[in-house]
């Protein structure tokens, strides 16, 4: 049985969709069968970040309403063949998602995939609660700034109350993914430090993704960063986070694009 | 000492204290910090105020009150139900004495005429109604108990009372067990913990945007970044303790202090909060 993961945050624009795509691709590259689901009905983005926007025929809402079968709606990635996308509908809104429909789709996907990754919409309303409903594990995406941290705290509270696991009295696994981290700005005191964020949220850290232009470039080209430029700093951070998600013990570090003196020497010699 | 408050003389102070006790409820503003300017306003008796003058208040305190009322639900035919009721009253006279009674006719097959008759019948049996539920608003004129809605059914009130009470075996009052609530996880933003029965202890932090309301004291083994309200049921001796104070709002017995009013030198430290007369005091611990 596969693991259902929700990528959520409360606040918008912190990097849920980017992280879903990057982690999904990172897991799929190791041979795991992965499906990423866009729960952001009406404001779909995951198809763009995955570069599949021209291949969408049927979507999540069609499957829920019975207009299409699940295999018809799943889009297989062209670069990594164990990676699939279930796109959201752009012409509907979140009310088109029904509780039973979502439960049925997740129930069908779970035995067929190793990982079912749900990309939650921002907010704490219907779309977000349905995205987290069936999750075994939650990745809470947070930027090191106060409003994002407080919204994440709110979401963690909801994860402990509104998910199926919580209602059965079990505990949902929660991980914190700190994105858009800028070491220089943190050093100047313009951002919350990692320690501050961890202290406020008291949730284990899955990874720290450094702020990078590479991310924006990858999104615009429709390739998850972990496929387009796996040696870049953010991609290495996502690859490490994906390994931690699989349960491997990987030492926490903040990858950087700046080369150390050894790297420079090595780079020159190789050139 | 002609126009200013003369609360410096001992005699005045004691009378002021008595006044203060009498005025505790309606006239306390939010966190009156015993500032000289606030004193005359706070200690003025209502009789001092000339009729017609509007007195400005910082706040007016209302407290919620919930109590268990007995709901009478008549059945049709009303005559038959009333004779059943009479049988009850014969076996347990005085059953309705001093008990809040609500008349529930929300099942709604009663006519206005029946309703008026029913009220008269109840009155003749000495049953005084606190409120009426489910009647047509036009039926309930002045002089009748108010119309309410949203009452919830509670457990049947001691049915032992309904059966003929045996002598010497009165319904025992519930044992007064010390009530406290222990939370072993952090309280997250947006969560409210409401525990009017006693103390609340949190092992973990209380996040910004979270709220704890306790009838007794609040103990937080972690950072308090949200709102903490102790002594909510009118306990001015309740206190708040936390290992790191970064609170948005602190309140004891309805008097509050916002983040801006917390002394900067205490912020971020372990602290306790208590009520000193009318002032919410925050001091560092240890």
Q: Convert the pLDDT of each residue in A3-14 to its tens digit.
A: 999 999 999 999
Mean pLDDT of chain B: 74
Which pLDDT score is estimated for A185? 87
pLDDT at B98: 73
Tokens of A24: 């999904």
Give the C-alpha separation, A65 to A100, whole Å: 10
A80-96: pLDDT as tens digits: 999 999 999 888 888 88
Is residue A260 very low, low, confident or very high in pLDDT (cuts 50, 70, 90)? Answer: low
Q: Identify the residue among B190, B222, B248 best suited for mutation to test binding to A, counting A beta carbons within 10 A and taking the highest.
A: B190
Q: Looking at the predicted structure, is the pLDDT value of residue B272 above 80?
A: yes
ipTM score: 0.72
Residue B269 vs residue B62, higher pLDDT: B269
Rg (chain B; Cα; Å): 25
pLDDT at position B270 is 96
* pTM of this structure: 0.64
Q: Nearest-CA distance from A199 to chain B in Å?
A: 9
pLDDT at B162 over 70: no
Interface test with B, best of A145, A192, A199, A200 (most B CBs within 10 A): A200
In chain A, what are the helix, strand and coil shares in percent, each to the nearest 5? 45, 15, 40
Q: Which residues of B touch A157 (CB under 8 A)?
A: 187-191, 210
If one counts every other C-beta atom within 10 angstroms of the C-beta of residue A26, the result is 28
In this prediction, residue B258 has a pLDDT band, given cuts at 50, 70 and 90, of confident
Q: Say if A202 is an interface residue toward chain B (CB within 8 Å).
A: yes
Measure CB to CB from residue B207 to each of A124, A153, A160 and give the nearest one. Answer: A153
**Summary count for chain A: helices (H), strands (E):** 14, 8
Report the pLDDT value the prediction gives residue A106, as an integer from 0 to 100: 96
Statement: residue B16 has pLDDT above 70: no
Flag if B205 and A202 touch (Cβ within 8 Å): yes
Local confidence band at A73 (pLDDT 50, 70, 90 cut-offs): very high
State yes or no: pLDDT of A112 exceeds 80. yes
**Lowest-confidence range among B57-61, B72-76, B163-167, B174-178?**
B163-167
CA distance B183 to chain A (A): 14
Return the higher-pLDDT residue of B52 and A161: A161
pLDDT higher than threshold 50 for residue A40: yes
With a cut of 90, say whether residue B77 has pLDDT above it: no
Q: Supply the pLDDT for residue B177.
A: 66
**Helix (H) or strand (E) run with residue A196 in it:** helix A194-201
Distance of alpha carbon B130 from alpha carbon B121, whole angstroms: 16
β-sheet with A83-86: strand ranges across = A75-76, A83-86, A34-38, A115-119, A3-8, A137-142, A173-181, A205-210
Highest mean pLDDT among A22-26, A50-54, A247-251: A22-26
Is beta strand A173-181 parallel, antiparallel or unpaired with respect to A205-210?
Answer: parallel
**pLDDT(B134) > 50:** yes
């Amino acid at each position: 049985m596969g693991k259902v993961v929700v990528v959520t945050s409360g606040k918008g624009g912190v990097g849920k969709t980017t992280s879903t795509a990057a982690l999904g691709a990172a897991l799929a590259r190791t041979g795991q069968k992965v499906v990423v689901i866009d729960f952001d009905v009406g404001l779909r983005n995951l198809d763009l970040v995955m570069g599949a926007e021209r291949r969408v025929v049927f979507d999540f809402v069609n499957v829920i309403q019975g207009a299409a079968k699940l295999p018809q709606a799943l889009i297989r990635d062209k670069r990594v063949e164990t990676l699939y996308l279930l796109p959201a509908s752009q012409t509907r809104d979140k009310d088109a998602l029904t509780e039973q429909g979502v439960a049925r789709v997740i129930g069908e996907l779970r035995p067929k995939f190793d990982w079912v990754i749900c990309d939650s919409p921002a907010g704490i309303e219907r779309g977000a609660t349905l995205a987290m409903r069936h999750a075994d594990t939650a990745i809470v995406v947070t930027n090191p700034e106060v409003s994002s941290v407080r919204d994440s705290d709110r979401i963690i509270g909801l994860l402990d109350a509104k998910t199926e696991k919580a209602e059965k009295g079990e505990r949902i696994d929660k991980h914190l993914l700190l994105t858009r981290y800028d070491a220089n700005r943190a050093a100047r005191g313009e951002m919350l430090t990692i320690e501050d964020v961890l202290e406020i949220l008291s949730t284990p850290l899955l990874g720290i993704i450094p702020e990078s232009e590479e991310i924006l470039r990858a999104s615009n080209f429709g390739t998850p960063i972990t496929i387009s430029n796996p040696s870049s700093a953010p991609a290495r951070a996502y690859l490490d986070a994906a390994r931690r998600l699989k349960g491997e013990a990987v030492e926490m570090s903040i990858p950087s694009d700046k080369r150390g003196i050894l790297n420079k020497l090595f780079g020159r010699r190789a050139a | 000492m002609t126009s200013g408050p003369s609360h410096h003389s001992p005699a005045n102070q004691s009378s002021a204290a008595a006044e203060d006790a009498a005025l505790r409820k309606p006239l306390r503003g939010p966190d009156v910090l015993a500032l000289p300017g606030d004193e005359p306003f706070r200690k003025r008796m209502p009789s001092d105020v000339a009729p017609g003058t509007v007195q400005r208040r910082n706040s007016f305190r209302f407290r919620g009150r919930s109590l268990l009322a007995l709901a009478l639900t008549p059945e049709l035919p009303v005559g038959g139900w009333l004779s059943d009721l009479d049988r009850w009253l014969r076996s347990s006279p005085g059953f309705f004495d001093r008990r809040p009674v609500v008349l529930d006719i929300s099942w709604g097959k009663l006519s206005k005429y029946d309703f008026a008759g029913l009220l008269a019948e109840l009155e003749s049996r000495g049953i005084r109604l606190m409120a009426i539920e489910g009647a047509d608003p036009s039926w309930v004129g002045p002089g009748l108990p108010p119309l309410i809605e949203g009452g919830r059914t509670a457990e049947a009130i001691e049915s032992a009372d309904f059966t003929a009470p045996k002598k010497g075996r009165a319904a025992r009052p519930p044992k007064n067990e010390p009530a406290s609530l222990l939370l072993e996880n952090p309280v997250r933003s947006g969560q409210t913990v409401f525990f009017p029965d006693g103390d609340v202890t949190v092992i973990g932090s209380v996040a910004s945007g979270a709220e704890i309301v306790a009838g007794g004291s609040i103990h937080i083994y972690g950072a308090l970044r949200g709102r903490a309200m102790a002594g909510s049921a009118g306990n001015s001796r309740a206190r708040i303790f936390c290992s790191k104070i970064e609170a948005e709002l602190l309140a004891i017995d309805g008097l509050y202090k916002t983040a801006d009013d917390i002394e900067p030198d205490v912020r971020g430290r372990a602290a306790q909060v208590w009520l000193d007369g009318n002032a919410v005091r925050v001091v560092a611990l240890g």
